[in-house]
A and B are shown apart, each in its own frame.
Chain A
Amino acid sequence: MLGFFVGEMIHSLFLINLSGDIFLEKHWKSVVGRSVLDYFFEAKEKAVNPEDVAPVLQTPHHYLISIYRGKIFFLAVIQTEVPPLFVIEFLHRVADTFQDYFGECSENVIKDNLVIVYELLEEMLDNGFPLATESNVLKEMIRPPTILRSVVNTLTGGTNVGDMLPTGQLSNIPWRRAGVKYTNNEAYFDVIEEIDAILDKSGTTVFAEIQGVIEACVKLTGMPDLTLSFMNPRLLDDVSFHPCVRFKRWESERVLSFIPPDGNFTLMTYHVSSQNLVAIPIYVKQNISFFETGSCGRLDITIGPKQTMGKTVEGLMVTVPMPKAVLSVNLTASQGNFTYDLATKVLVWDIGKLNPQKLPNLKGSLSVQAGAPKPEENPALNINLKIQQVAISGLKVNRLDMYGEKYKPFKGVKYVTKAGKFQVRT
């Protein structure tokens, strides 16, 4: 060992599945032996859930920074000081890229596209330092697989490596390539708001806030310069942007001005100022109780509409992680289906649309392991729901203008409200 450290940010990367098999490794410098992973495996053994493995582990000579995505651990081996978030964020970007390339990020997909994955990693990091992480740039260098191209490649012996040299990296706007052409020019924006809330036993809101995101799908020819403005930008309390958004203009005029990347991207995320009262679309009446004797308990849940902005609540679903002692359930649902997974002890009640005239109800008895003590805590209810065509904060897009190109694009904006981390304590 030389007496000095020359770090590279990321020395090696390992992909490990849940059962501990290493199915891909890449080293950016000299090879690091797999034995270093023993420390990780030890931590993984100890953890009850894979999420409980500490993201940063220390070994005598290395540091292991890992993320858990799509039932895979992405584990980076580090030798020297580096901001941990730098590595974590990068690993997530790798996972995002896989997702983008292959439609999902799973062990099978990666195994099936091993060479592409390897080439991607080669492009994304140089000497352990991120080089090209914009999916637009990568796609020019390494084409994602499509069914059609796979067939053609097989016939011609071609590969997915781009044979044209990329241009995006060299322009001032690395996120967009030059020479984009479409016959139908379209720009779609989905305003998606999620309600994070904690309701307590009595139905009072302990905590509630709205997190929003604008997902865009822009398919426009040339170099369009877009401006998107809101009716009520003052609602937005905290924002974060795709690098394409000109921050100065947001600061001064509260409009989003940007040259969009080609295709799908997240334009911005926002947080609605906490001064605004958050409308909670539903109320939950619940009664879960366990009896000291008789090894049983009762459950009774009713859900009704509260502040729904005149829209229908859809996709209503209640997930209840039951105490370990609950052996089985004997319930009847007035609407929808429910399942109880004996292994994970999770009760899922899939309700669907919420009918204000006939409120959905789930009730019945729970049977508890004989002799086991009465569970201390009642399980919390996790709620999923969806309301179409409304952003619960009241945020509205005012207009979308395009400059720099002659044609008239088709523009569309859609609003959806969902439940984010929506929990009811019982």
Chain B
Amino acid sequence: MTTMQKLLQLPVNAVNIVKTVQSQVQGQSQEEDKSPVLSPDGGQQTWYSALQPDELRHLRPGGSGGGGGGGGGGSSGGGDQDERATLDEGGGFQNQPLRHDDLKEMLDSNKDSSKLEAMKRIVAMIARGKNASDLFPAVVKNVACKNIEVKKLVYVYLVRYAEEQQDLALLSISTFQRGLKDPNQLIRASALRVLSSIRVTIIVPIMMLAIKEAASDMSPYVRKTAAHAIPKLYSLDPEQKDQLIEVIEKLLADKTTLVAGSVVMAFEEVCPERIDLIHKNYRKLCNLLIDVEEWGQVVIINMLTRYARTQFLNPNINESLLEEGGGGEKTFYGSEEDEDDEEEEKEKKSEAAALAKRKPYVMDPDHRLLLRNTKPLLQSRNAAVVMAVAQLYFHLAPKAEVGVIAKALVRLLRSHSEVQYVVLQNVATMTIKRRGMFEPYLKSFYIRSTDPTQIKVLKLEVLTNLANETNISTILREFQTYIKSMDKDFVAATIQAIGRCATNIGEVRDTCLNGLVQLLSNRDELVVAESVVVIKKLLQMQPEKHSDIIKHMAKLTDNIQVPMARASILWLIGEYCEHVPKIAPDVLRKMAKSFTNEEDIVKLQIINLAAKLYLTNSKQTKLLTQYVLNLAKYDQNYDIRDRARFIRQLIVPTEKCGALSKYAKKLFLALKPAPVLESPFKDRDHFQLGSLSHLLNAKAGGYQELPDWPEAAPDPSVRNVEVFALLERVTTLTSVPEWTKCSSREKRKEKKVEKPFYSDSEGESGPTESADSESDSASGSESGSGSEESGSGSESEESEEGSESEEEEEEEEGEEKDQKKKKNKEIKKPVQESESENSSEEEERKNERKRRQRKNDSESESEEEEDESESESSQSESEDSDSEAEVKKKKVKTAQTKPPPKPAKTDNKKGKKEMSLLDLDDFEPAPSPQVTPVNNFLSNSLVTDLEGLSLSDNVLSPATISPSSATKSYELLHRITGEGLSVEYCFSRQPFSPDANMVAVQIEFTNNTTNDTKNLHMEDVKLQSGMRVKEFPEIELLPAGETTTAVMGIDFCDSTQAANFQLCTHSRKFFVSIQPPVGELMRPVFLTENEFKKEQGQLMGMNEITEKLMLDVKCRNEHAIVQRVITAANLSRVPCGSDKECRFSGRTVTSSSLVLVTVASKEEGTAQLMVNCEKMVIGTMLVKDILLALTQ
């Protein structure tokens, strides 16, 4: 294409092009004219003129030489010819670089088009890896160019060369600083992006400032860019680490998905060790995860994997302990290990097992949250995301749940071969630990002849790992096909695989061996050689059975030339020469003949063979051996010479070294252990799966070790979000589901150490002790000597508290503590009241205290305070209210949403005085301490919540529940049929401590006769399948006219089927049955409004039942509705923003399926009832029951 043609094609741009083309014609490369440093103002001009003569010099030779100007790279013409024409000139650089001078000229021109043209060429040069650094001064001037396209290309250039031309780069800084203030977020972002990419140390402070500012920008996009800039600055100046961590901390708190991925990336690169920064953001990150962009997801998931490993307990703890005890023994303890050790180990094992039994593992709800929120990402289209989730499950999930990843990983095998390569490596590692997981997908790993070799070999690895007794025949049949492949490397790998199958699965060893022996007659030498090597290993396992194979192999020495195979055969014959006594010397004879022509490894084995034969059969082989050793003596290889000398000394007895030669036979013919054919992927899982380090099986730079699980879980409360301090307190109090399970004090103690919710400094042992002493008098004195807060008078205490609270405004913890104290005070008062009113025995109070203590496991000092307040019974009502006012004040001060506890209290007092204490105390257990409360939550719903729970006066030993008026009692045995014994039962709505899956049923026996009833007990329990019953303890004596209660537990399996049994006394038996209303098959669960909505969203369609209803006249206010629903079903109120809607949540007792109830009232008493429950039957029945409750 001539220049003329080009001109014709580009009429409008002609002027520019003429220039370009001319210059191109004249152009020569000009490496030598490195730019001098540009002086800020006007310096350029002079520099340019100074260059003039230089330019002229280049013009002359250029004119004569550069005929081929815009050669155009020979690309074919097409429709986009025009576009290409301009670029082709760029392309021309390869052969005929355009002179930089001309580019400079173009950059200096006034026309944007010509600047653009020049920039395009320069960028093209950079893309090709050509040096364009000397254009820097000319380019940097254009950084302020108005044309956005030119600007963009200038940025590209700047980022590339700024590091090399630091002084000049500084000229551009002010432009970016201006850009940082631009109203357009994209300009701000791009200014920050470029600014932070300029690797010039001197601007570090400017960058720091810019990043800090951008981190609080309104636009999430700019904040994202700020996150990206952090590692850039860090790599430029690691000194900035501390400041950068502050920014990271700030950005981690960001709630937008756009920022999340980028900031975690920055975190990983700057301060991956600061795991503490994650605590407060952990739940947020988990919840945002699904909406974060793909790349961010990968980074976050990998980080959270590490996080979880430091914060949660191993979900497989029990299993792994047992496993280690069982399976591990074989590998760890060889025959030599002394007995003691083993015993010790056994002890340990049993100890561990006992430990595991004693402490049932309960997964941290946050741990569960992570697993739940990552699972949907297995469906991502992005292989990296899928892999990230897979590794997370592999490293963190309970064994039973890991299986879900198999399907997703198998799906990735359809992807590009590079993806397959990586996935297969990881699958290979997984299959060693969790074979069962991939077994159903065995056929997906079958090999196609079109697979690349590396994929074939990896699939083979997986197939081998998956082989077991049941599928081995299928796999071997498949292997048979592979052995015929044209790809010989693959065939060799297959033979190795067969060898491994044979060693691992005893049943097929002979089959495999026979198959391999057949391969010995294969035409391909490589195949034969590989077979020999593998057979050698197999034969070592049971040589005596296979002398015929050894014979067969001996014959092969005539044909087979591959050194490794020859060496293997010779070793075999030598090792088992007793099994082939006739052939062995003959082989040696042949080998001696060809000794000089053999490879080194073969020669060494010939010497070995000779030595062994000499020792076993010296009569026949003495001469041969000497001959061989003589040959070896003069070999070129010093190894061989050495070996020959050494062996001669050893086996041929001389006077000098007779001592050692005695043992020669032992030395040479020692029994050698059979080799273990192991997968190269064994134990690779100590690297985090999916990582580069795992792939390479070597630690890569910057790799963060996957920590081991902690022995005891660190404080989970660190993940609680502070803002909702009080609310949280309430929930943390309620969220110790374990307490229900512990009945002995020791266990409580254990718990306490394990889960210090408020690890306040004032010695945890103190309060516990005081509780332990459990004598009232003691408590009084203790409180006197007690804690710092225990004032002598109410006045002083109050003032102290006041000052404290002010001081501690900033300290969240202290405040919480304070609040707690207040709360306790409120609780205490009623205690006293009830005490005095009921004048109940000490017994009861003790029980109460016990209860309280259980609650207060977390609050270490509350005990003390209780005692304190009890002793100071003179504290007046006014003080109480004062302190409440204090609370309120504080609330205002800190501008936090804290519900006034007062209404709750008063309400309770009015309602049922004696219950009020228990109410507050026994806020029902919620499954998770995670709360995102709604502002007006406590103000209106705490009351009702408490009401709903009022019946759950908590007693852990199931024998002492006092029936309450509000629980509906059902008759179990009428006094007539019971011949004077009447029995009633009610659902106490207590957690049944011996078994959480059981519903507690409280039974009240009344003896209306005049005789004592003895030996009341249960017999002949008849249940539907799956149901279980925990009988109440036998009541030995029920005196005449007395009443007693007992508690039994029934696991109804979430069905309303009756539990039938016989009630027996010493003289009679009565057939009775207990049938639960559906509402009693659940336990309350605390959810926030958001959680509720989220859960509800997942329970739609079939799982949702809606019913319209007309509310009963007496039931048209919120309060009444709540009461009736809660009476009908054991549910917990969910805080709600609107007073038109009441929401309730619970879980079924056995299967823990969520039950969500919504009652939305509308005008004129109409309302809508909606129940969402996975268990459709339960849902339907519940709808009926609640409907009935609300309409009657």
**Chain B: interface secondary structure?**
helix
> Is B765's CB within 8 Å of the partner chain A?
no
Of A67, A84, A155, A209, the contact of B692 (CB 8 Å cutoff): A84
Q: Which of B197, B692, B1100 contacts A82 (CB 8 A)?
A: B692
B945 to chain A, nearest CB (A): 29
B700 touches A80 (CB 8 A): yes
> Is A252 an interface residue when CB atoms closer than 8 A count as contact?
yes
| Pairwise interchain contact A127-B197, C-beta atoms closer than 8 A | yes
Q: Please, what's the 1-or-0 string for A121-143, where 1 marks a CB less than 8 Å from any CB in chain B?
A: 01000110111010000000000
| Contact status A154-B486, CB under 8 Å | no
Stretch at the interface among B109-117, B306-314, B576-584: B109-117
Is A56 at the interface (CB under 8 A from chain B)? Answer: yes
In the complex, what residue of chain B is closest to A323 when comparing beta carbons? B486
Q: Is B896 an interface residue (CB 8 A)?
A: no
B1173 CB, min distance to chain A CBs, angstroms? 13
Q: Does B454 lie within 8 Å of A88, measured CB to CB?
A: no
- The residues of B that contact A359 with a CB separation of less than 8 Å are none
Shortest B406–chain A CB gap in Å is: 10
Complex CA distance for A20 and B212, rounded to whole angstroms = 45
CB pair A83–B691 under 8 Å, yes or no, is yes
- Given the complex of chains A and B, what is the CA–CA distance between A46 and B343 in angstroms? 54
A253 touches B186 (CB 8 A): no
Given contacts A89-B383, A129-B265, contact A115 B87 (CB under 8 A): yes
Query: What distance in Å separates the Cβ of B185 from its nearest Cβ neighbour in chain A?
Result: 7
Given contacts A22-B129, A373-B523, contact A321 B193 (CB under 8 A): no
Say yes or no for A405: interface residue by CB 8 A criterion.
Answer: no
Q: Give chain A residues whose Cβ lies under 8 Å from the Cβ of B388.
A: 83
- Partner of A86 from the list B225, B270, B298 (CB cut-off 8 Å) is B298
- Is there contact, CB below 8 Å, between B228 and A252? no
Interface size on A, residues (CB 8 A): 110
Chain A residues within an 8 Å CB radius of B693: 81
Question: Does A339 reach chain B (CB closer than 8 Å)?
Answer: no
B7 to chain A, nearest CB (A): 13
With a cutoff of 8 Å between Cβ atoms, the chain B residues found around residue A157 in the complex are: 13, 16, 111-114, 116-117
Interface string of A68-100 (1 = CB under 8 A from B): 110000000011111111101110100000000
A55 and B449 contacting across the interface, CB-CB below 8 Å: no
Chain B contributes a number of interface residues (CB within 8 A of A) equal to 122
Asked if A376 CB lies within 8 Å of chain B CBs, one says yes
B1062 nearest CB across to chain A (Å): 45
In the assembled complex, which residues on chain A have CB atoms less than 8 Å from the CB atom of B290? Answer: 247
A118 close to B (CB within 8 Å): yes
Binds A, one of B419-427, B818-826, B930-938: B419-427
Question: Contact string, B954-986, partner A, CB cutoff 8 A, digits 1/0?
Answer: 000000000000000000000000000000000
Contact yes or no, A56 B695, CB < 8 A: yes
State which residues 665-706 of B face A: CB under 8 Å: 690-693, 695-696, 698, 700-704
- Bound CA–CA A115/B152 (angstroms): 11
Q: Mark A178-207, 1 if CB is under 8 A from B, else 0.
A: 000000000000000000101010000011
* Contact in complex: A159, B149 (CB < 8 Å): yes
Interface residues of A in 24-44 (CB under 8 A from B): 24-27, 29-30, 34
Name the segment of A164-172, A294-302, A306-314, A390-398 touching the other chain. Answer: A164-172
B422 touching A253, Cβ below 8 Å: no
Contact B407 A238 (CB under 8 A): yes
B56 on interface, CB distance cutoff 8 Å: no
A159 touches B221 (CB 8 A): no
Chain B residues with CB under 8 A of A373:
523
> With A122-B156, A165-B184, A174-B293 known to touch, is A81 a contact of B486 (CB < 8 Å)?
no
A406 CB to nearest B CB, Å? 26
Which residues of the other chain, B, contact A382 by a CB distance below 8 angstroms? 450
Our pick among A52, A200, A209 for the contact of B454 (Cβ within 8 Å) is: A52
Contacting residues of chain B (1109-1136) with chain A, CB-CB under 8 angstroms: none
B996 sits at the interface (CB 8 A):
no
Max count, chain B CB within 10 A of own CB: residue among A118, A153, A159, A161: A159
Residue picked from A81, A241, A266, most chain B C-beta under 10 Å:
A81
Which residues from chain A contact B903 at a C-beta distance below 8 Å?
none
**Stretch from B75-83, B429-437, B771-779 forming part of the interface with A:** B75-83
Using A51-B417, A154-B82 as known contacts, say yes or no to A321 and B449 having CB atoms under 8 A apart: yes
Contact with B148, one of A51, A163, A423 (Cβ below 8 angstroms): A163
Q: Is the CB of B381 within 8 A of A127?
A: no
Name the CB-closest residue of A to B419.
Answer: A88
CA distance A117 to B123 in the complex (A): 10
Asked if A151 lies at the interface with its beta carbon under 8 angstroms from chain B, I say yes
- Chain B residues contacting A198 (CB-CB under 8 Å) are 446, 448
Contact between B117 and A81, CB atoms less than 8 A apart: no
Q: How far is the CA of A251 from the CA of B1094 in the complex (A)?
A: 13
Those of B130-185 within 8 Å (CB) of chain A: 148-149, 152-153, 156, 160, 163, 184-185
Flag if B238 contacts A2 (CB, 8 Å): yes
Q: Which residues of A contact B1099 (CB under 8 A)?
A: 252
Q: Mark B220-252, 1 if CB is under 8 A from A, else 0.
A: 110001001101101100100000000000000
CB contacts (< 8 Å) of A7 on chain B: these are 231, 269, 701-702
Q: Would you call B127 and A118 a contact (CB within 8 A)?
A: yes
Find chain B residues with CB under 8 A from A30 CB.
163, 199
Please name the residue on chain B nearest to A79 by beta carbon.
Answer: B701
Q: Tell me if B408 and A129 are in contact (CB < 8 A).
A: no
CB-based contact B1101/A252 at 8 Å: yes
Residues of B within 8 A of A52 (CB): 452-454
Q: Of the 9-residue stretches A105-113, A329-337, A407-415, which lies at the interface with chain B?
A: A105-113
B149 contacts across to A, CB distance below 8 A: 158-159, 161, 163
- Answer whether A89 and B419 are a contact pair too, CB < 8 Å, given A25-B129, A115-B124: yes
B219, CB-defined interface residue at 8 Å? yes
> Which of B73, B80, B231, B423 interacts with A127 by CB under 8 Å?
B231
Instruction: Knowing A112-B84, A112-B87 are in contact, say whether A85-B414 is a contact too (CB < 8 A).
Output: no
Q: Which residues on B sit within 8 Å (CB–CB) of A156? A: 113
A30 to chain B, nearest CB (A): 6
Given the contacts A126-B193, A155-B12, A421-B448, A63 and B700 also touching, CB distance less than 8 Å: yes
A379 to B450, CA, bound (A): 11
Chain B nearest Cβ from A85, distance in angstroms: 4
Q: Are A23 and B128 in contact (CB under 8 A)?
A: yes
If the complex has contacts A24-B128, A163-B149, are A154 and B10 also in contact, measured as CB distance less than 8 A? Answer: yes
- Cross-chain contact of A83 among B79, B265, B414, B690 (Cβ < 8 A): B690
Asked if A289 is at the interface (CB within 8 A of a chain B CB), the reply is no
B136 to chain A minimum Cβ distance, whole angstroms, is 15
Residues of the A chain whose Cβ atoms lie less than 8 Å from the Cβ of B120? 115, 159
Q: A81-B700, A170-B219, A376-B484 are known; give 7 further A-B pairs, CB within 8 A.
A: A6-B234, A90-B384, A150-B80, A161-B148, A247-B376, A252-B1097, A376-B522
**A–B complex contacts, Cβ < 8 Å, 25 sampled:** A4-B238, A7-B701, A49-B452, A51-B452, A52-B454, A54-B454, A81-B701, A83-B690, A83-B692, A84-B691, A85-B384, A89-B419, A90-B295, A112-B84, A114-B90, A115-B87, A129-B295, A147-B83, A150-B82, A151-B83, A157-B112, A159-B120, A248-B1097, A421-B448, A423-B450
A residues near B, CB below 8 A?
A: 2, 4-8, 22-27, 29-30, 34, 48-49, 51-52, 54-56, 58, 63, 66-69, 78-86, 88-90, 92, 108, 111-115, 117-119, 122, 126-127, 129-131, 133, 145, 147, 150-151, 153-159, 161, 163, 165-166, 169-170, 174, 196, 198, 200, 206-207, 209, 211, 237-243, 247-248, 251-253, 266, 269, 271, 321, 323-324, 373, 375-377, 379-380, 382, 421, 423, 425
B residues at A contact (CB < 8 Å): 10, 12-13, 16, 73, 75, 79-80, 82-87, 90-91, 111-114, 116-117, 120, 123-124, 126-129, 148-149, 152-153, 156, 160, 163, 184-187, 193, 196-197, 199, 219-221, 225, 228-229, 231-232, 234-235, 238, 262, 265, 269-270, 290, 293-295, 298, 302, 376, 379-384, 386-388, 407-408, 410-411, 414, 416-419, 421-423, 443-444, 446, 448-450, 452-454, 478, 481, 484-486, 522-524, 690-693, 695-696, 698, 700-704, 1097-1101, 1103
